[in-house]
Chain A
């Protein structure tokens, strides 16, 4: 009976010691990392387009942290889905709604001679990338435009187009087989 008692005591003591060590280690060697929402938000493309069904990237990040699917971000493409899946430890699934894997980058373009200066697009733009005043022509700051297309629908005269971003030597990615050549002779 005493043996049992000693054994229990010894085990209990050991458990206590290890518990203390572990507890100390957990405090002392804590790995500082961003809260999960911050990490998710950093992966999202910040187009603020709402295509995920949330009013912006941050709310979607919060929703993912609360268990929503990671495949609702068409502007991010498959790459973003993959990163989110890695971060959340879930299976990477194809984009919801069958959007293409590599989204084409677009920016809004206002056909300026048709613009009536209603400021509706300015109100719709989530990143304030449209400048203009009432009854004055508006224009898009191309560098700030995220291509979310939220300004297209509010336009009463449909003078906003989403145009693909032109390729430059800086953005060219060595697709040697895809060089379109206009043979002059």
Chain B
């Protein structure tokens, strides 16, 4: 009789990499649906394109590196990267935007650093930042919510927009983004910062149609949907509470202080929490385990620092939103944070 030799333990929790990635994807569904509802189904087209691209790029690099292609693809990390990038860019961005973004994210940011687990930066966010600095026009051309749109667009229109820059009825993206008065509508964050820089107060700016009483029209619900997905992830113990809580708390704190001291130029707490990529960033992006801090104390520092940086860039920086920059900046600080936040090991410096 030949007995099989193995190393202990022989039991496993049955939680696998694939199941973790699947849960994250599942948790993103409400947010994607909300985006579809308010901004049209373009995000689905971008998503499909992104998934195809990441699969091809990942497989290609794995082939070149001589790794097992299917086995590695199965971990689902590449698809998650594609998903996060696709929901981050404007839904009607030209097709090559997502292709370039996924290529950079997968090939340069992830695989050239050694593949999953070896990357220093969050691939999706690095891809996003590359696109943002390279193609600022395309990357900031967000459609206003459907109810504000002068011309209604269907799925076929969006397909046509993405691949030929014009809708089926011949409108360009600029035309679609214009309101009845012919003025281009920007995202709430963008509108606010432009207005404030033109000397308007926040209250005056907030009377514009892209806003509701609390935050941006449509955007607040998208954020709420991602918050819901995030709570699901917490409940499933896929992510730890430290990073999202620290990030949102820090952002809230900064926003509150800013509002108290300068309510004319600073939007309130709710606006910060429910605008832009706040919730997506807090639950889906900053929590990427590979590029985030790994100790609990470190996670608190990491999350809080992201919150502060997001606030600073939104309020005083040159870009309307800042989650991607904040995450990348803190990614760089992770090794340092980890080094100084090692937990106290059993038996060291305990009371005796």
Contact = CB atoms under 8 A, between A and B. Distances in A.
Contacts of A179: 5
Looking at B1, B5, B6, B7, the one whose CB has the most chain A CB atoms below 10 A away is: B5
Contacts of A176: 5-7
A174 B5 CA distance: 11
Tell me whether chain A's interface is mostly helix, strand or loop, or mixed: loop
Nearest to A178: B5
Interface residues of A, number: 5
Interface in A158-185: 174, 176-177, 179, 183
Interface residues of B, number: 4
Tell me whether chain B's interface is mostly helix, strand or loop, or mixed: loop
Interface of A: 174, 176-177, 179, 183
7 contacts: A174-B7, A176-B5, A176-B6, A176-B7, A177-B5, A179-B5, A183-B1
Nearest to A176: B5
Interface in B1-15: 1, 5-7
Closest 6 CB pairs of A and B: A176-B5, A176-B7, A179-B5, A177-B5, A176-B6, A174-B7
A174 to B, nearest CB: 7
Contacts of A177: 5
Nearest to A177: B5
Contacts of B6: 176
A70 B1 CA distance: 49
A31 B153 CA distance: 69
Contacts of B5: 176-177, 179
B269 to A, nearest CB: 48
A183 to B, nearest CB: 8
Nearest to A175: B5
Nearest to A179: B5
A176 B7 CA distance: 7
Contacts of B7: 174, 176
B1 to A, nearest CB: 8
Contacts of B1: 183
B45 to A, nearest CB: 50
Nearest to B1: A183
A176 B5 CA distance: 6
B7 to A, nearest CB: 6
B4 to A, nearest CB: 10
A183 B3 CA distance: 11
